[in-house]
Amino acid sequence: MPLRLATWNVEYADGTAKNAARLARILGEKADIWVLTETHDDLSLLPTHSSVTTVQRPTGRHGGRWTAIWSRWPLAGVDDPIRTVATLVATPAGSLLVFVVEVADFASP
């Protein structure tokens, strides 16, 4: 069974018009799993996907997150949600571990 995983640095999803274009592009790709870096709560893939995310960034506008993993399939687990996010994805072919660390500006909290 093919599995489509995609990634995109969405630059904190700033702007309503840009988010509409981003969301259209994301949904058009039909990826089963999306890894969004420098993301924001404004850019939601609900109801077709569920997510695990890092915590709120300490800087920037409310809702900014370093990383989110969105999946069409059930997710379980988050590891070190400050700068990394990890989850087990229950795909039809079996469990898949997805682990992402945001390394941009890694020296700051």
Q: Would you say residue 13 lies in a domain?
A: yes
Specify the pLDDT at position 10: 92
pLDDT digits (tens, 9 = 90+) for 18-27: 999 999 999 9
Tokens of 46: 């609900």
CATH, residue 30: 3.60.10.10
Q: Would you say residue 108 lies in a domain?
A: no
Which structural domain, as residue segments, surrounds residue 76? 5-101
The domain tally of the chain equals: 1
Whether 58 contacts 64, CB under 8 Å: no
Question: What predicted TM-score, i.e. pTM, was given to this entire model?
Answer: 0.84
Q: Would you say residue 107 lies in a domain?
A: no
Q: Within 10 A of 94 (CB to CB), how many other CB atoms are there? A: 8
